[in-house]
Amino acid sequence: MILSVTGHNFRYETENVIRIFFPLEKITVTEEMIETQENHVFTYLENNIIGCEVFLSGKKEKREQSVIDKTDKEAELILAQLLYDIFTSMTGLTPPWGILTGVRPSKLLRNLIAENGEAEALDYFRNQLYVTDKKTDLALSVAKAEDRIIALSGEKSYSLYVSIPFCPTRCSYCSFVSHSVAQAKKLIPDYVKLLCREIGDISKIAKELDLKLETIYFGGGTPTSLGEEDLKAVTDAVSANFNVKNIREYTIEAGRPDTLNKEKLAIMKNAGVSRISINPQTFNAQVLENIGRKHSPEMTVEAFGMARNAGFDNINMDFIAGLPGDTYESFRASIDRAVDLSPENITIHTLALKRAANIVTQGETDSVYNETAKMLDYSNQALYDSGYFPYYMYRQSKTVGNNENVGWSKDGRECLYNIYMMEEIHTVLAAGGGAVTKLKSPFDSRIDRVFNFKYPYEYISRFDEQSERKKNIFDFYGMIKSGNKKRIYL
C-alpha cells in the first residue's frame, strides 16, 4: 500500500491507523500525490482543511474536515478519525480499540482519569478514540486493579529481571530473541557464568544507590530449558546477592511443560521462588503441533500437578487466541480445562501476526478476525464467572483484530512484576542477553534505558563492554536526586 503524506507531519499516527486494518501490508510512504492503480492512501493538510482519500480494491472514498483553531495534536486526532471512518466503511471491520494504537491503554486511561475525572476520561475513550464499550470497561477494570499494586511501590523500589533466552524449540509465532537449547548448547556454560557475574554486579549497584528490591522475574525464552545444574547456579547467584526473603514476589517462567521435572521444581522452591508459569497456549494437540510445540496437553496437566505437589500455590497459565488451526470450539475447551485446573493466574494473549508468518491469507482475514474476537469474548466471560478479574493488560502491533493481551487473577494473586514493568512504575534492573534495564524516575515521567547485547554470543564476547554501559545507571540516579519532589506515576 502507498501512503502519501503532504502538508502535515502526522505520518507515524497515519501508518498506525492503516496497520490496524492491514497488519501485514507493506506500506510505502511518499510526500507526493502520485497516480497509481495500487491501493493508495492520500492524506493532506491544506488551507486549514485536513483530509484523506483512499483507493482500495478499485473503490474510492474521501473525507475532509476543517482544522481552523485546532492544535497539531487535535488535527492529528481528526485525521486518524477520518481514516478510521473510511476504512470501517470500505472493509466492514470495526476494530474494538478504535484508533487507539498504544501499548498501554490502562496507563493512558489512568492518566486521563487523574487529569480530567473518570466520566470525561471514559467519554474520550468511547467518543474520540472510538473504543468499544466492552474494551473501555476492560481498560477501566484493569486500571482500578492496578492502583493497589502501584501503591506498594516506593521511591527507592526496583525489580530485577533475569533473561534466559533459550527454549527447547522455537515456536512458529515467536518474535522474542530466543534460541533452541540444541542450537546454543555450546554457549550455555559461558552464558550462565557471565549471567551470574552480572547478577552480582547489579546487586552492588543497587546497594550503592540504596535501592529496595520488590520483585524478581526470570523470563526468556524458557528459563527452565536450562539443565538442573545451570538453573541452580543462576538461582544460587540471586540468593547470594539479594535478600529474597524480604521481597514481595519471585517469578520464574517455567513456560514449556516439557522442561519441568521434580528436580527443577525443587530447585526453584528451595530458592524462594513464589510464582511460576506453566503455559499450555492451547490444550488442542493438533494446534500444538502446528505451532512447533513438542509437549502434549497431558504433559501440561502432569507438570501442573507436579508443581502443586512441590508446594507452588501461585501458578500462571498462558493461552493464545487466534493460533493457526484453532477454532472457537477448541479454544473454548482449552479455557474450560484451564478453569477446571484452577491456576491463580490465567493470561490470554492475542496472536500477533509477524511479517514472515503465513497464518492467514487475505481471503481468510475476516473469518479469522471474527473467530478471534469470539474467543476473547468467551474467555473474558468465562474467567469473570469463575472468580478471576483482569489486573494487567498490554497491546502489540499486528495482533489479529487489533486486540489485546490480558492477565487475569484470583483475588490477591496478581503478578506485581507485570504491573510494575508494563505500567512503568519503577526501575527494572535487567541481566542477561537481550535484557533491557529500564530506569524510571519516581518524581516524574523520565525514563532511560540501558541495553544488553541481544544475542548470547554477543553477550559473552562483549560482556565487559556491556558492563561499562551499566555505569549509566549511576548517572541517571545522580540526575534525578531531589529531596522534596512529589512522587508521581505517569
Task: Look at 280-289, 356-365, 455-464 and tell me which has the smallest mean pLDDT.
Answer: 356-365
Rounded Cα–Cα distance for residues 473 and 457 (Å):
24
Rounded Cα–Cα distance for residues 427 and 441 (Å):
8
DSSP state of 168: S
| 2-91, CATH topology level | Double Stranded RNA Binding Domain (3.30.160)
Half-sphere exposure of 214 (CA within 13 A, CB side): 23
pLDDT tens, residue by residue, 31-41: 987 777 689 99
* Res 180: pLDDT: 64
DSSP state of 325: T
Exposure string of 122-161, with b = 16+ CB inside 10 Å and e = fewer, is bebbeebbbbeeebbebbbbbbbbbeebbeebeebbbbbb
Superfamily of domain 149-430: tm_1862 like domain (3.80.30.20)
- State how beta strands 427-431 and 49-56 pair: unpaired
* Res 488: pLDDT: 45
Binned at pLDDT 50, 70 and 90, residue 356 comes out as very low
Which of 167, 394, 369 lies closest to 279 in space, CA to CA?
167
pLDDT tens, residue by residue, 128-171: 999 999 999 999 999 999 999 999 999 999 999 999 999 876 66
Provide the angle, in degrees to the nearest 10, between the axes of the packed helices 228-241 and 188-208: 10
* Res 48: pLDDT: 96
- List every span in the chain annotated with CATH 3.80.30.20: 149-430
* Res 366: pLDDT: 60
> Looking at per-residue confidence, does 292 or 320 come out higher?
320
CA 274 vs. chain centroid, Å, equals 22
* Res 472: pLDDT: 93
- List every span in the chain annotated with CATH 3.30.160: 2-91
In 3-state terms the chain splits into helix, strand, coil percentages (rounded to 5) of: 45, 20, 35
Task: Look at 136-140, 177-181, 283-287, 428-432 and tell me which has the smallest mean pLDDT.
Answer: 177-181
Task: Look at 35-39, 347-351, 475-479 and tell me which has the smallest mean pLDDT.
Answer: 35-39
